[in-house]
Amino acid sequence: MPATAVDSHCHLDLIADSLAEDGYPNIEVDAELAAAAAVGITRVVQVGVDVASSQWAAELAQRHPDVLAMVALHPNEAGAGAATEGALAEINRLAALPRVRGIGETGLDHFRTGEDGWAIQEQSFRAHIDIAKRHGIALMIHTRDAYEDMLRVLDEEGAPENTVLHCYSSDAETARRCLDRGLVLSFSGTVTFSNATATAQAAAITPLDQMLVETDAPFLTPMPFRGRPNGPYLTPYTIRALAELTGTDLATLCQRLTATAERVFGPWP
């Protein structure tokens, strides 16, 4: 790539897990980060989904200069009852650490969580919005089959200044409603699957100062590697697809994605 860029959402702990099944061996994580840096992805955002992975993310960001952390209880964890008072208190404690720059991933997932879990999921989402605001850091939202309810909750609570929809996967019309609210859309490898999809059309209308790129690794591997575990080192394939969809040259896009990431998450070094 002609310039460096940022993977704004990944799960290095899950990559390490899929490589070596016992715990979180730092050596694999460091190798993964080195492989990413070698292709120009010199910065990543490590995202938590429960208390243990949020603590792990905060520790990794503390020791590795390429990594910033986000901490949260994933909506599907929350829907299963994980957003206890104690768990939320721990997320709030981690949120105060200097290398923790956002609350995520939180949000609403009506695909994986059944209807009986929606009320506690929404309660958890509201609590996470409150934590992000209290610490003045970003909010990273996961939404699946729940865009209407997600926007309703954001409107009721008031979105934090820097709010990101991770793995944006709806159409251009919904994108417009999110962009009008000042939200940032983070695009994953799914935009490489076909440039005719609704999500690709959404990317095409997204201003560069409201656009981020992510892997959500080890999930959502971009073409032409679909089927193998994803890693931050594959981010350039998604960036190239976004360059084509937005009609932006690659170097400019890398610089703009980095600038947006620094505005949202703050500086890395």
For the CB of residue 154, give the shortest distance to Zn ion in the complex, in Å. Answer: 16
Alpha helices in the chain (DSSP H): 12-19, 26-38, 51-63, 75-79, 85-94, 118-135, 147-157, 172-180, 198-204, 235-246, 250-265
The answer to whether 43 contacts Zn ion (rule: CB under 5 A) is no
**Of 169 and 260, which has the nearer Cβ to Zn ion?**
169
Is residue 216 involved in binding Zn ion (CB under 5 A)? yes
Q: What is the 3-state secondary structure (H, E, C) of 146-211?
A: CHHHHHHHHHHHCCCCCEEECCCCCCHHHHHHHHHCCCEEEECHHHHCCCCCHHHHHHHCCCHHHE
Task: Choose the stretch contacting Zn ion; rule: CB under 5 A; options: 94-102, 123-131, 155-163, 214-222.
Answer: 214-222
Q: How far is the CB of 111 from Zn ion (least distance, A)?
A: 11
**Could you say whether residue 66 binds Zn ion (CB under 5 A)?**
no
Strand arrangement of the beta sheet that strand 138-144 belongs to: 5-10, 41-47, 67-71, 100-109, 138-144, 163-165, 184-187, 211-213
Is residue 102 classed as helix, strand or coil in its secondary structure?
A: strand
Q: Would you say 108 or 241 has its CB closer to Zn ion?
A: 108
CB neighbours of residue 210 within 10 Å: 18
Find the binder of Zn ion among 142, 163, 217, 254 (CB under 5 A).
Answer: 142
* Binding-residue pattern over the window 101 to 140 for Zn ion, x denoting contact by CB under 5 A: ----x-----------------------------------
Which residue minimizes CB distance to Zn ion? 142
Q: According to the binding rule CB under 5 A, does residue 144 interact with Zn ion?
A: no
Interaction pattern, residues 172-211, with Zn ion; x per rule: CB under 5 A? ----------------------------------------
Q: Which residue ranges make up the site for Zn ion (CB under 5 A)?
A: 105, 142, 216
